[in-house]
Amino acid sequence: MSNVHKTNPKEHNEYMFWELNEIFQKELPTAVMVYGDTDTTLAGAKAAHHLGLPVIHVEAGLRSYNEAMQEEINRVQTDQISTLLLVPNEAAQLNLKKEGIEGNGVIIVGDVMKDVIALRTSLSKNASVHYHYATLHRPYNVDNKVRLMGILDALNTLDQRIILSIHPRTQSRMNSFGLYPVKYANITFIGPQSYFENIRLMDESTSLITDSGGMQKEAYWLQKPCITLRPETEWRETLQNECNVLVYEDLGRIPKLLKRSFGPFDPELYGDGRAAQKIINSIYNRF
């Protein structure tokens, strides 16, 4: 694709649509596979559908039921035009059924992220270090100075050190708001991490504090208690047995929740670690 800067999100999405449309016309694929719930997911699905190409949606059927989230809009619209919907569990399958999407085009395959966790090599843990690991990037948490300051203040007063992997968006907002790392003695700020380094930091931590979607699952599979700084989650199964807890308005609950009882964890949640092979089989059988 051309390296063109687009400042308007709507224009940017239209640009992706037409660029992908052009690629698909040249390549003439049998089908187009999209993953997740990003803007590129929806752009790819729409471009394929526009040309009459079947759409395969991996991680279909998830719902947070928060229509203010762009990710929710992307999920719903992608599912509506998909031919093969590969869902992580029965709950996602039921979500689609409620929307009138059912039949042999909806297949439970599990979650490919669990495949990676299941196959990861044994991590060398540093048992002498005690910290809570945190990530923060969602607009409703970082784009408002009072909100972002409240979260950082809450983290700064916790009983253990915080390692905060700082997203570029969060870094930018902190700079513009004058919230400099030196003000937060209990927080160690580090840059964005590679996937496996991120997993290691989670695995060695006491608990995870995040507003990420995928990391809620990873914490669950690593059997780490999670506090999610959001009013809702599309991964509602992780909330069972308080393995994951939602905190949004009352940040003062965090210290007590870090000491909560949690578990047990369900080792079969979101599949058995063989989602990739099931996806391959599903695509092969269909096409």
Residue numbers annotated as active site: 137
CB 87 within 8 A of CB 96: yes
CB 158 within 8 A of CB 82: no
Report the side by side order of strands in the sheet with 55-58. Answer: 32-35, 55-58, 84-87, 106-108
Q: How many CB atoms lie within 10 A of CB 28?
A: 8
Tokens of 135: 């990530």
End-to-end CA distance of the chain: 28
CB 71 within 8 A of CB 37: yes
Half-sphere exposure of 139 (CA within 13 A, CB side): 4
Strand segments (E) across 141-181: 161-166
Question: Which helix (H) or strand (E) segment is 104 a member of?
Answer: none
Q: Is 263 left (phi over 0), alpha (psi -120 to 50) or beta?
A: left
- Exposed, middle or buried, 106 (CB in 10 Å: 0-12/13-18/19+)? buried
CB 33 within 8 A of CB 58: yes
Tokens of 270: 């979101």
| Contact residues for 265 (Cβ-Cβ < 8 A; gap 6+) | 220, 221, 223, 241, 243
Tokens of 120: 């990861």
